[in-house]
């Protein structure tokens, strides 16, 4: 947090039109003193269309310095950028010219499939023995999903991470407590369950993810499963405490079948194992049917649809994106068992369409979704698209940039 403030941000953009144009990695100037502050100052186009860039990450971070498997010579310069729809992975070098990053390697899906039976790659974290990548499902679009590894230096596919997956089938996000040799994984759905949009039949029959899984990180073995209950659907983003001595974290649940609310749950140590507790509940907001997209008209309410959360590096503030209602919330989680709402900003939303203060004449569509906190904790960035097929369901007029 004491490091210099970031001057540039790398932002993935995707082309929702089937016109042959590709997605791109853009460079945004985020230095307030700069004459080009808040503007695109660089871009690299992907080589092929249809990737749907989504999450991505750096090749190196503090986890690569783990005492039992240190990689002190790994340099934080490469972005590992998968296509969530294409299962293609791009390695982008930002060092020679940060304003003009270059693609230095493309790992085609077949190269991954030859080593692991996984596809649709999501979360990237650099870890002790390699770069970890989560995958939503198998190569045929079913399950199980899981985690595989890339080499820190060559980016070669090393293989599947799990030695014993136990009951785990659905996959999505993952994080870890290195000091406690524990990895945590969450659940969304298989590619066939999510790629054409949210399936109401699957949702109402509680078929989407509702569990957390705890693993022995070094032995790669499943240890414990926690079921949040059939009404809790889409257990997505995991944010573990950054302090390596702490053994807790937060997970966001997108929707409750009971009342369309969203919630944040805290996992923590208890009696030698892991336990979970709901610590935040965000209610749905009433709305007239004609204000709503077809998918929601029968409910006459706007669900918050908490789709992303982020935790400041000092573990003090949790930021919560309500992609349905168009609200970005800040909670003081200094006491993680008793969060306190300390701030809220409205932007966009399915019904509200709250404009940005800089352009009050321009109603926003989409809403705070992917959210990133700067290392010093003083700035926060978000983008407004979730996933193209889901964007079309909840924002039928299209999510503009």
Can you tell me whether residue 388 is helix, strand or coil? helix
Residue 278 included in any domain: yes
Residue 216 included in any domain: no
Residue 275 included in any domain: yes
Look at residue 71 and tell me whether its pLDDT is greater than 80: no
Can you tell me whether residue 251 is helix, strand or coil? strand
Q: Which residues pair with 243 in a beta bridge?
A: none
Residue range 60-89: mean pLDDT, rounded: 86
Can you tell me whether residue 106 is helix, strand or coil? strand
**Total domain count for the chain?**
1
User: What does the block give as tokens for 361?
Assistant: 């004449």
Tens digit of pLDDT for each residue in 207-239? 999 999 999 999 999 999 999 999 999 999 999
Can you tell me whether residue 63 is helix, strand or coil? helix
Between CA 251 and CA 204, with CA 276 as vertex, the angle to 5 degrees is 65
Residue 178 included in any domain: no
Look at residue 366 and tell me whether its pLDDT is greater than 70: yes
pLDDT of residue 70: 66
CA 23: distance to chain centroid? 18
Tens digit of pLDDT for each residue in 314-347? 999 999 999 999 999 999 999 999 999 999 999 9
- What DSSP string runs through 298-327? TTTEE---EEEEEE-TTS-EEEEEETTTTE
Look at residue 350 and tell me whether its pLDDT is greater than 70: yes
Q: For residue 368, give its domain range.
A: 233-401
Residue 254 included in any domain: yes
| Proportion of the chain above pLDDT 90, given as a percent | 89
pTM over 0.85: yes
Tens digit of pLDDT for each residue in 168-209? 999 999 999 999 999 999 999 999 999 999 999 999 999 999
Left, alpha or beta for 166 (phi > 0: left; psi -120 to 50: alpha)?
A: left
Residue 274 included in any domain: yes
Contact 139, 174 (CB under 8 A): no
pLDDT of residue 3: 86
> Going by C-beta distance under 8 Å and a sequence separation of 6 or more, which residues neighbour residue 243?
315
């Amino acid at each position: 947090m004491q490091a210099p403030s970031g001057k540039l941000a790398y932002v993935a953009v995707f082309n929702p039109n089937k016109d042959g144009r590709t997605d791109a990695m853009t460079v945004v100037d985020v230095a307030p003193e700069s004459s080009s502050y808040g503007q695109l100052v660089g871009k690299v186009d992907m080589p092929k269309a249809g990737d749907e860039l989504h999450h991505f990450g750096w090749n190196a971070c503090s986890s690569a310095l783990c005492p039992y498997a240190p990689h002190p010579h790994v340099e934080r310069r490469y972005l590992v950028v998968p296509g969530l729809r294409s299962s293609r992975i791009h390695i982008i070098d930002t060092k020679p010219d940060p304003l003009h990053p270059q693609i230095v390697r493309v790992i085609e899906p077949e190269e991954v499939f030859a080593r692991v039976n996984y596809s649709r790659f999501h979360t990237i974290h650099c870890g002790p023995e390699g770069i970890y990548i989560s995958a939503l499902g198998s190569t045929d679009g079913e399950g199980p999903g899981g985690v595989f590894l890339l080499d820190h230096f060559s980016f070669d596919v090393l293989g599947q991470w799990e030695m014993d997956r136990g009951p785990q089938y659905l996959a999505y996000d993952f994080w870890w407590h290195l000091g406690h040799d524990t990895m945590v994984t969450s659940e969304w759905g298989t590619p066939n369950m999510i790629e054409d949009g949210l399936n109401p039949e699957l949702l109402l029959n509680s078929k989407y993810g509702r569990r957390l899984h705890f693993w022995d990180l070094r032995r790669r073995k499943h240890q414990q499963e926690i079921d949040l209950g059939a009404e809790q659907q889409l257990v997505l983003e995991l944010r573990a405490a950054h302090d390596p001595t702490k053994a807790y974290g937060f997970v966001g649940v997108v929707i409750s079948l009971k009342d369309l609310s969203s919630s944040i749950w805290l996992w923590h140590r208890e009696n030698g194992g892991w336990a979970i507790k709901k610590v935040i509940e965000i209610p749905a907001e009433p709305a007239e049917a004609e204000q709503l997209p077809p998918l929601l008209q029968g409910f006459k309410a706007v669900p918050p649809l908490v789709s992303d959360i982020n935790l400041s590096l000092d573990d003090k503030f949790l930021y919560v994106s309500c992609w349905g209602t168009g609200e970005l919330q800040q909670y003081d989680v200094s006491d993680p068992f008793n969060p306190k709402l300390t701030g809220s900003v409205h932007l966009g939303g399915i019904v509200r369409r709250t404009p940005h203060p800089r352009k009050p004449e321009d109603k926003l569509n989409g809403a705070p979704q992917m959210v990133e906190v700067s290392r010093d904790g003083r700035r926060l960035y978000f983008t407004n698209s979730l996933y193209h097929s889901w964007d079309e369901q909840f924002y039928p007029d299209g999510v503009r940039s």
